[in-house]
A and B are shown apart, each in its own frame.
Chain A
Amino acid sequence: MSDALREEVENWLQRHWDSDNLRAVDTEIYDEKRWLSEVVDAGYATPTWSKAWFGRELSQREARVIEKTFQKHRAPGWGKDRFSLGAITLYKMGSEALKAELLRELLIGPICCLLYSEPGAGSDLAGIRTRAVKDGDEFIINGQKVWTSNAQEAEYGMLLTRTDFDVPKHQGITFFIFPMKQEGVEVRPINQITRESEFNEVFISNARVSERYIIGDYNKGWKSFQAAIASERLIMGMGVTARSGMSSHSKAPALLRLAHKYDRLKEPALRQEIAQALAYRQLNSLTMQRAVEEIKTNGMSSLMSLGKLSMSRIQHGEARLSGTILGPRVLVNDTEDARHANFDAAKAYMNSIGGGTDQIQRNIIAERILGLPRSNDVDREIPFKEIKTGG
């Protein structure tokens, strides 16, 4: 099966993709929308999805065959069923009408940002206060979001709003797919610890979104949001957000190459630490492989939920060791190695804070996988408007 599939994809790419010039055959420049349309329509962008929605109903394993073949030819567009959060959420939780209206568009281009966190609601996202008020067949949105990655480029945002203040906090939430390019949406970049500014504050005043753009049901947004956040954590657990431990031109992990370059592989104590760091990364990928196999046979796997937390230890550990390997050279950002080490050390917090902190991940693992009792949320059962706030 996988050989036949590989051959089919090879043939298709041969006919459509010019891998020397990295653009579609018979075109002069790379036109992203146009190329992605071709990939989506061929069913290679979301091969695990249903045939009704741009998919081919293939298994994860078969989908990997497609991804690998695309990667070999350096052709973009693969893996949208794993990495394209907005599209995945819509596919899973959106109504048929909403999918018909937006799904293809989301797959072929626009960035979709995540409008969840607010100044007063981070780990406790059910505490959001951005308000959506019904006005005819539209909703009027007012509020402030923060830490919104890629909000400047985004054409859409997945927006978590409060639509009922009189019920307990998880019950009055509505989840929208929200058009960003409109009056009343102001995006202000934030300077990050990494010296990048990917994330932003987003001020929303009297902006509008159609009732058709509710993901899931009115006031039941918490449920559809769960599907979205679960997909996000999965992606982070696979470690695809960070500069990955492997590089394209060498099979050896980056940390090992660094230690070799600076001649630090002769020191027994450091060898122990480096070996353990490499082991953590390899163990996580073995466990994620197991998870994929379990999903294939049982339809689900709790192992998946371990990936993101594991990845925090891996990323922080590798970054710290890179600094150790460099020694005092790490203090001076004149070399690429020092810049990488310092950048990675800061960037590792993206995994351990973003998408739910390590502490929240531990709560989830303990409560949902191990079945330990929930901690007392004092505000869980009372109407939202009576909840005390601070800081």
Chain B
Amino acid sequence: MEAFSVEDRQAMCDTFSRLLQDMADEPKLRQLLITESGFDQSVWGKMSQLGLMGILIGPEHGGVGGSLVEVEALMEHAGAYLYGGPFISTCVIAPTILSACSDESLAEECLRAITEGSAIFSVAGCGSSGAWDLPPEVQAVFVDQSWLLTGTADFVSYAAVANQCLVYANVDGGKGVFLVDMNENGIALTPHNTDDATIRLSSMSLDAVVARQVAGVGEEVMEEALQVALVALAGEQVGAARRIFEITIEYLKTRHQFGQPIGSFQALKHIAADLLIELESASSAAQHAARAIAAGSDDRKLMSCLAGFTCADNYRKITADAIQLHGGIAYTMEHPAHLFWRRAQTGQWLYCSSDTLRDNYLAEMEKML
């Protein structure tokens, strides 16, 4: 079930963490924020050399055959650095969708391109609702031997740097997924002016864009893909929450007021203790959901919903309190707290809202009645 030994996973995470430390620390992140694409090709290249692109892809396509357990662990490190590239779409969601494709040559072509580092995928999974579990706002029609896509997708991450896109679309009364080359005619991207600059989102309009069908993939596979995406995101949120929490605890020990470290004030201590529960709850949820999905357990939907809203909400709560615990220093652009806090807000809406996930969690629970 778990493809990697604990030691192998740890070694891979350590290498990834060092890479981020060297090439994507806060000063580098801040430089990236003012670039147009928000994407660092050199970090991506190094990640590819480490074999991270093929983390979920089997050796038959050149990957390393890991599971979501490895993805979750890697994402915790990504989160700690607020890493924001097209990793989840390219290396987590796309392989999940493509592995379910019944057209083997299309799957091989795409998966191989991912492991070789030549493909960057965006996934257009929703319309203006932002919710991947609602019907898409793109239509696919079959005209003169080819599929044409028309409509809009929104909140597409890193669409401007992707060369491929998987588009969720309505087709013949059902739903399907289509592969689009981003150089095709008829695609117009409008980058959003996101409040959180650490992630890039665009709206994407399609006007009779030529596409290839990812055969055999419909609503069910997209639901699995959503679960996988949520757990990867949950891992990222845990890593980020842990980092800002550590920064905050450190500050409580070093900042002095009234002749003592502010961490000796009970009003702050008690907030910190409560936040530790939120942090560890999030961590438990993300890790457990990753294992449930890796093992194909029956409760994987329940667990991915739980991880989805818990990690998103607890991350936001931890970052929000972190600012208050810091005082004025965190009310500045120079301090990293706002970067985490803004990213946390993104996470409450990306793929699916926390409230929807909470409701879906209850719906899964109701099946026990």
Contacts and interface: CB of A to CB of B under 8 A. Distances in A.
A154 to B, nearest CB: 33
Given A275-B359, A375-B264, A256 B365 contact: yes
A306 B276 CA distance: 8
Given A369-B276, A375-B264, A279 B358 contact: yes
Contacts of B306: 279, 282-283
A286 interface: yes
B260 interface: yes
A374 B276 contact: no
A265 interface: yes
Contacts of A309: 273-274, 277
Given A279-B306, A365-B273, A366-B273, A372 B264 contact: yes
Interface stretch (B101-109, B282-290, B342-350): B282-290
A366 B272 contact: yes
B266 A252 contact: no
A362 B358 contact: no
Interface stretch (A93-101, A228-236, A266-274, A324-332): A266-274
A111 interface: no
Contact of A372 (B249, B285, B355, B362): B249
A373 B261 contact: yes
State the majority secondary structure of interface residues on B.
Answer: helix
B368 interface: yes
Contact of B368 (A256, A287, A367, A375): A256
State the majority secondary structure of interface residues on A.
Answer: helix
A306 to B, nearest CB: 5
- What's the interface size class on A, roughly? 35 or more
A105 B264 CA distance: 45
Interface in A247-263: 250-253, 256-257, 260
Contact of A283 (B274, B284, B358): B284
Contacts of B274: 309, 362
Interface in A281-320: 282-284, 286-287, 289-290, 303, 306, 309-310
B86 interface: no
19 contacts: A250-B368, A251-B368, A253-B368, A268-B359, A272-B358, A274-B362, A278-B361, A283-B310, A286-B281, A290-B280, A363-B273, A366-B263, A366-B270, A366-B272, A367-B269, A370-B273, A372-B252, A372-B264, A375-B266
Interface of B: 249, 252-253, 260-261, 263-264, 266, 269-270, 272-274, 276-277, 280-281, 283-285, 287-288, 306, 309-310, 355, 358-359, 361-362, 365-366, 368-369
